[in-house]
Amino acid sequence: MFLRPVILAGAVLCAVVEAQTFRISSVTPNGELPGGAIYAGDGVRFVVNAVREGITTPISARAVLREFNLDTGALIRELSSGGSESNGVYRFENFGYRVPAQTCYQMCRPGQTLRSSEVKVRIEFQSSIEYSVQTPAGSERRTATSAIVRVGVQYPAVTSISVSEFPLHSYTPSVRITVRGAKFTSGLFAGVVLLKANDHGKVLHAASPSNPDPYEYWLLPRAQQQNSATPRVINDETLEVSISALVSVVAFGSEASTLDYIGDFDVVVVWAQDPSPGVTRSAGSLVAYATGLMKVTPARTDDLTKITKLDVVMDLLNPDPAKRTSAVWTPGAANTLEAPPNGVVQVRLTGTYKLSRYYAGLLWLVMRDKATKQSLYMPWDFARNTAGKERDIIEQGSGRQTPLQFNYRLPAAPADLEFFLVMTPQDQATPTNYTLAPTVPFGETFAFSPVVSVSWTKPGDAAIDHIEVVQVVQNDKNEIPLIAGKNTVARVFLRTEPATADPIANLNVKLTSPNGGVARRLNGPITAEGKIDRDKLEHSVTFALPEEWIKQGELTLDAEIELPKGFTDTQTANNKKSEKVRFIETPFKDRRFTVAYVPFCYQPTPEAEKRCPEGDISTFGSWFQLLYPLAEGRARYSRLGTKRPTMRFPVTSVSSSRIMAALNRYYRIYDEKRPSQIDQLVAWIPRINDAPVDPTTDRRVPIGRANTQSSGGTGRVSFVQDTSTSDMRQRDPSGGGDARGKTSCIRTWR
């Protein structure tokens, strides 16, 4: 309302006049109140209500929708609509409008990007009315225009991603993406797509974080291989996804093209959200994005291979299953191979690997010559990317998912070998028969495993060299007489043929005789070598002969080698040997042979310390029985009297004869008084080898000395320095058949 001056009858009067306005009272989608948010891609039929005020003679009215570029402000298009009037209220409802898509997304043309195709708009409405008014000059047409009413369009945006860098061919199980202005609702569609910046033909996909990783997915039975692409909703504006940067290629193809995926990526989130009243929206049509928010970096190179063990069956083609020996080879162990040249071994691999740098590769278990490093045989299998984890090595080419197993043809000449794992790109050129000529080099190789070294036992022949039958001393021809009834052992010596062959381990011997009974084995198994050493107990299998074998007369011994399981001897004729020996009786078969001993002390001058033999000389009886050619139980060793005579003169190599003369007299006197009660007399004297060297002979006193007049073993006198009683105490064989005692005794035989 305003005051308008009126001139009437020469007077000025003020009349009240109502203002003429036209205003928009509401803009709603499809007439729904209250209106809601509108997003890119939404379809809307706007209804505009306008009210005239102070206009009494309207002529026509219309409303206009104008669409502007949000960034530049340029007018894009304009829509207009006439309306109907009721009681001064005009309704304009012919505004069918769809908000332009924000970006090309799935319909980008070559060279077009999300950013270059982006269109953001703002919308405004304005109404106008044409009416007439009476003026002093007559009727006048006028127009009233409403104020502009703006309707906002919502543009959600991806604002953050919890992991911004992804190595090529990697897998990240949990990534959170935040979209400002979104309203994610569990159960409604949502998806995440990653587009290479400036090259939308290269796409990476995100999926549910609850999915198995790509390697575990491959392990699942085909019926269970179902992946969900639905992210997990954390809150209204946050999704959680898994992202795979694995770029697949055809099997055995080059992966060079996958390098093009390295670079910046745009993150696009598409989801479904319930529309506002009066708004039509396609399912999953809401889109938010951010350009260059994440990056694919070069692939990791933390690949590795490990051999835990190799289960081996040797001489696989041997027709005798018992000779196909098994073994377990491990890195760092003393592994041995026992198989003929040109033979076949079967190797089953237990190990792990990690493949990060490629989508897939080839895994090789190489056999090579240890000395020359020349590859001899190189079977392989397909290997998938392990999604950042160390995985068990299994058969992947055929999907059997069983441990890898290969057969290897051994070279024609024995050589120490090495086995190791290595990986190559999957487009490594390989023949289809699982072999690769040693002269053909690998392509790019990586992830070498620790080496499993194997010593190839050179094939040899196990043979019996000879048999020695021993009581005290013996030579290799058994020329030393054997006494009937005396404890006896047999040593069966083994060797390899030829002498240059590798030692053969775990050999045993069976010893029999036509006399019956069983020989008790005292050691074994042993290792045969090319040259025997009779001083070494371990070069023979030793047997204690039973009592029924050592009686007077001839004895035949039959020895046969017992080969270890799986060992193939090159010839078996020399695995057996027989030996004949004879046992004789002694004159003392009906009585005991007695040796009496007397301890002598030594004091060369009155000022010198008096020294006497140690008390251990009394224990020499067990050795006496062992060393003398007497049947068991026929030896007696006892002290003669209780006195300890003292030698009071310096003993030298010359004066030792004086000792012998005194002993001969001592023996004759005793024998005259008590004839035939002793057979030999031994004088033990203390160690006197520290006496000065005799200048006439340049010799020291002998360890012992005996007369030469004895006959048939009786009448013998001798003296012995007490120098070895402590050694005798350590090697006392009186163990009641103890094998350790006999072994000690055997060590003294020649």
Q: Torsion angle of alpha carbons 365, 368, 373, 378, nearest 10°?
A: -50
Of 527, 538, 524, residue with least CA distance to 501: 527
Question: What is the average per-residue pLDDT within 415-441?
Answer: 69
Q: Contact at 8 Å (CB) between 19 and 53?
A: yes
Q: Is the pLDDT of residue 119 over 80?
A: yes
Report the distance separating Cα 373 and Cα 367, nearest Å. Answer: 9
CA distances from 83 to 50, 280, 337, 568 (A): 9, 23, 100, 109
For residue range 674-683, list pLDDT tens digits in order: 776 788 888 8
Of 91-100, 297-306, 532-541, 589-598, the one with minimum mean pLDDT is: 589-598
Q: Which two tokens stand for residue 701?
A: 């006193």
What is the CA angle 348-354-356, rounded to 5?
Answer: 145
Report the distance separating Cα 310 and Cα 110, nearest Å. Answer: 54
Q: State residue 187's pLDDT score.
A: 77
Report the distance separating Cα 594 and Cα 490, nearest Å. Answer: 28
- pLDDT higher at 702 or 287: 287
CB atoms within 10 A of CB 270: 17
- pLDDT higher at 134 or 162: 162
Q: State residue 708's pLDDT score.
A: 65
Kindly write down the DSSP assignment for every residue of 50-78, as one continuous string.
EEEES-SSEEEEEEEEEEEETTT--EEEE
Q: Is the pLDDT of residue 734 over 50?
A: no
Q: Is the pLDDT of residue 107 over 80?
A: no
Question: What is the average per-residue pLDDT within 498-522?
Answer: 87
**Residue 667 binned pLDDT confidence (cut-offs 50, 70, 90):** confident
Q: Three-state DSSP class for 216?
A: helix
As a whole number, the mean pLDDT across the chain is 84
Q: Is 67 left (phi over 0), alpha (psi -120 to 50) or beta?
A: beta
Within 8 A by CB and 6+ apart from 245, the residues are 166, 167, 168, 169, 170, 171, 172, 204, 261, 296
Q: Is the pLDDT of residue 240 over 70?
A: yes
**Residue 18 binned pLDDT confidence (cut-offs 50, 70, 90):** low
Q: Which two tokens stand for residue 504?
A: 């053969």
- pLDDT higher at 18 or 30: 30
Q: State residue 558's pLDDT score.
A: 94
Peptide bond into 645 cis (omega under 30): no
Q: Contact at 8 Å (CB) between 362 and 346?
A: no
- pLDDT higher at 205 or 88: 88
Question: What is the average per-residue pLDDT within 317-335?
Answer: 89
For residue range 361-389, list pLDDT tens digits in order: 999 999 999 998 888 888 889 999 999 99
Report the distance separating Cα 689 and Cα 686, nearest Å. Answer: 9
Q: State residue 458's pLDDT score.
A: 65
Q: State residue 618's pLDDT score.
A: 79
Q: State residue 440's pLDDT score.
A: 47
Q: State residue 370's pLDDT score.
A: 92
Question: What is the average per-residue pLDDT within 250-254?
Answer: 87
What is the CA angle 261-264-267, rounded to 5?
Answer: 100
Report the distance separating Cα 327 and Cα 343, nearest Å. Answer: 16
pTM: 0.60
**Residue 431 binned pLDDT confidence (cut-offs 50, 70, 90):** very low
Within 8 A by CB and 6+ apart from 684, the residues are 597, 598, 599, 600, 613, 617, 719, 720, 722
Percent of the chain's residues with pLDDT above 90? 47
- According to the per-residue pLDDT averaged within each range, which of 513-527, 558-572, 671-685 is highest? 513-527
- According to the per-residue pLDDT averaged within each range, which of 249-258, 500-509, 627-636 is highest? 249-258
Question: What is the average per-residue pLDDT within 307-311?
Answer: 97
647 DSSP β-pair partners: 602
Question: Strands 482-483 and 576-584: what pairing?
Answer: parallel
For residue range 609-619, list pLDDT tens digits in order: 888 887 678 77
**Residue 262 binned pLDDT confidence (cut-offs 50, 70, 90):** very high
- According to the per-residue pLDDT averaged within each range, which of 98-107, 117-126, 428-437, 584-593 is highest? 117-126
For residue range 586-611, list pLDDT tens digits in order: 878 778 888 888 888 888 888 888 88
Question: What is the average per-residue pLDDT within 352-363?
Answer: 95
End-to-end CA distance of the chain: 146
Q: Is the pLDDT of residue 257 over 90?
A: yes
Report the distance separating Cα 743 and Cα 698, nearest Å. Answer: 38
Q: State residue 113's pLDDT score.
A: 79
Q: Is the pLDDT of residue 578 over 90?
A: yes
Q: Is the pLDDT of residue 693 over 60?
A: no
Radius of gyration of the chain (CA): 56
Question: What is the average per-residue pLDDT within 520-537?
Answer: 92
Give percent helix, percent strand, percent coil of the chain, each to the nearest 5: 10, 45, 45
Kindly write down the DSSP assignment for every residue of 495-507, as one continuous string.
EEESTTSPPEEEE
Q: State residue 694's pLDDT score.
A: 54
Of 342, 353, 325, residue with least CA distance to 365: 353
**Residue 4 binned pLDDT confidence (cut-offs 50, 70, 90):** very low
Percent of the chain's residues with pLDDT above 70? 86
- pLDDT higher at 605 or 730: 605
**Residue 690 binned pLDDT confidence (cut-offs 50, 70, 90):** low
Report the distance separating Cα 80 and Cα 281, nearest Å. Answer: 23
Domains of the chain (ranges; CATH) run: 19-153 (2.60.40), 157-297 (2.60.40), 304-456 (2.70.50), 461-584 (2.60.40), 593-738 (no CATH)
Residue type, 151: V
Q: Identify the burial level of 530 via C-beta atoms within 10 angstroms of its C-beta, where 0-12 means exposed, 13-18 middle and 19 or more buried.
A: middle
What is the CA angle 645-649-652, rounded to 5?
Answer: 110
Strand locations in 30-148 (E): 38-39, 43-53, 58-69, 75-82, 84-86, 89-98, 121-135, 138-145
Q: Is the pLDDT of residue 743 over 60?
A: no
Report the distance separating Cα 728 and Cα 534, nearest Å. Answer: 22
Give the single-character DSSP code of 359.
S
**Residue 82 binned pLDDT confidence (cut-offs 50, 70, 90):** very high
Report the distance separating Cα 347 and Cα 127, nearest Å. Answer: 88
